[in-house]
Structure 1
Amino acid sequence: MADRFAWTDGQLHMGEIIIATQTGVSIQDGPEKTAYQKGTITLTSHRFLWKDNTSQIELPLSYIVYAEKKDASLTSKAKIVSIVSSVQAPKRSGPFISSRYNEIQFEFKDGGCNEFLRLVQDELVKKRWLLEPIRPSASTSGREYRGISSIEQNMHHQLNVQHQSISGAFQDLNKLMEQAKDMVYVSKAISAKIQEKRSDLSSDETIRFRSYLLSLGIDNPITKESAGSKYHIELAKELATVLQKALKDTNGIMTLSDAYCRINRARGFELISPEDLLNAAVHMEELDLPVRLRTLSSGVKSFELANRNEKKDMQEIIALVNASKSMSAGELANQLGIPISVARERFVAAENSGSLCRDDSIEGLRFYPNEF
């Protein structure tokens, strides 16, 4: 609905701020081109402002339901498609008398579409145009703000906007944490039901309940408040419990970075830092846990099962290479489900033992059976 555009002098309203500006933007009424081509578009907290050498128009963000990207084609550049509300708005003087479409397209001929769209969507979520602007005091009523007084009023309004945004963010965070606690209670209830009625549950029901628990994560994560000075020791035990199950699905080894992501995903809102993970991991061996921390020759740190049989693993790799005639680290990683860095490490160990040899060419590094 391009008829929602109105003429403007481009002056900012009280409390309105400029977000972004992009040149080389053309306006389309739905799929139809208009006379407004390759102008400069400005996104503010309240409006779209578009201008060229002869005219300047505006489109309030309050008219827009949502915005999305339309990818570039052979005949056009990337576009932002803004779907406009069908609710009737007060008619203002503008360049378009009427429109048949419920969308307005902005074609970005000089690039910048992705970042501009992100900012537009952010403003549509914030809806800052709904905030009540600061009213002038009685002593200045009827006069236009100018100079320092105007700057102070605008700064005060922006601080209010930021304060409301931050307050809203913390309220949302508190709600999320409350919901996460509810999820923990649910997971405990499911776990208790499995223990109490294990004999009454069918295999399908057991699998379904266990999938629920896996999706919920750790039901009672260790925290610094609950463990005190023994935090890293208790955290090491928790890590071993969680990683032992995961390592069985990754051929007995996992990089430190992969483990960090898995642990924090399982812990939910009680996240740990990389330092806490490493400080806890160094206690695993002294506690005789089923998982241990190992540093590969490449310097990469990894977790592995304490009972992993390295000789058996090497024999398996040699058999795979013999069967395939040759393999790369990427092929071994895909076949065994292990990281490429670990696959390369195991190839090098087999090479050092004299079982494999390498060919490093422009096609990449490959390992072959050592027939010499």
Structure 2
Amino acid sequence: MEQLVPAQLTSAGRAALEEDETQVATATRVSLCDRNKKLLHECKEGMLAVTTHHVWWWTPPQPGRNPDEAHAMKLPLQRILKAEAHSSLFRREPRIDLFFASDPSAPLLRFVFRDNKCAEVFERLQTSLARKNWEKPKQVVKRESGFNTQFAGVGGVMRRQQQEREQTANLTTEAFSDLKQLLDSASEIVKLADRFSSAISQNQAKAQAAAAAAAGGSSETVERKQEDDFFALLNDMGIANPATKRACGSRYHEELARELADFLAKHLKRHSATGAIALTDLYCLVNRARGTELISPNDLYQACILMKPLGLNFVLKTFESGVSVLQSISLNDDTVSSRFVELLRDQNDPFTARINAVSVASAFSLSLQLALEQLKTAEKLGYLCRDETAQGVDFYLNLFEHVQIYDEEAPPVPPPVPPSH
């Protein structure tokens, strides 16, 4: 089928959408057929997703396999002439027929559904075809140049700020006034957040330059640290296409697991050097990123359990104390413990250097609870040894493995007897 083009999946096996592309409907157990109901792929069933620009179809990747080996295809909506839905009480398998300009008399492509998502997918497909978002040019942020007397002086600055506030208020009012209008204005909302992010980035650069000139590269102030954190939050400002029970049906926890894997691949790379995050922290981060599509603690836990069977890059781990974390499979306990050893050896005297949960949490961007659990694991593996005092628990390099104890009263060991010939 020449109308279909190869597509890429994310590392977790989800559709890798374009920058301005938004997913509007999904369905499972969908077959891809031609006009003669002949399967176009050896896999009878796959995943279907309708976006603002394409119709996606792919087979779920096998656990432990590379997502690039999965079969993924997408159909640009601009190639579709029209779509028709066929379903009735007597039809066991409803379908959607797609017509193209090359042969408008008969459908060239059919999606056969084995669940109850046909009507919903068809409605969203018709909406995407009517909107024609692919024809809308990408808006480029225009930067004003030159001098304008209207915005000169203190009064000009106040007028500019008032104008920006009015534009922001109008945009948010229009976006949230109607659900359909919200979908149209979603890209504008994202651009508004990007503008805030750019402003913070510029202020951050100016503050760094001023601090370097005044203090010769001194440590960051509290205000700059807060700007850094807020800037990072804006870069991780949300999950664009969250998995929902209504859209995914029986595959909800599986799709949620893949969504979490994609989210963590970006978040942990930036915020955690140990590749681990506590489930309590993950629950807060994910629900913040999903906005109104909140998930329950049980759904999060079930999705985390499925990560290992699905062959994703994270695994659920529970410490002896009962603390549960998600940890990257590329960073096991030995790798994390080695980083603690490097942290001690980087100090002036590694033999007397010590670390604790507070210093590790600060150095590796971890919670205190998770830092303490990973220090205990490093001790159990023989990398560290502890010293419990009234002030708390400190950890040192484990030097006992390099100490040899000799007993002077022990009889000498006789030399080995050479073998007789």
TM-score, normalisation: structure 2? 0.39
TM-score, normalised via structure 1 length: 0.44
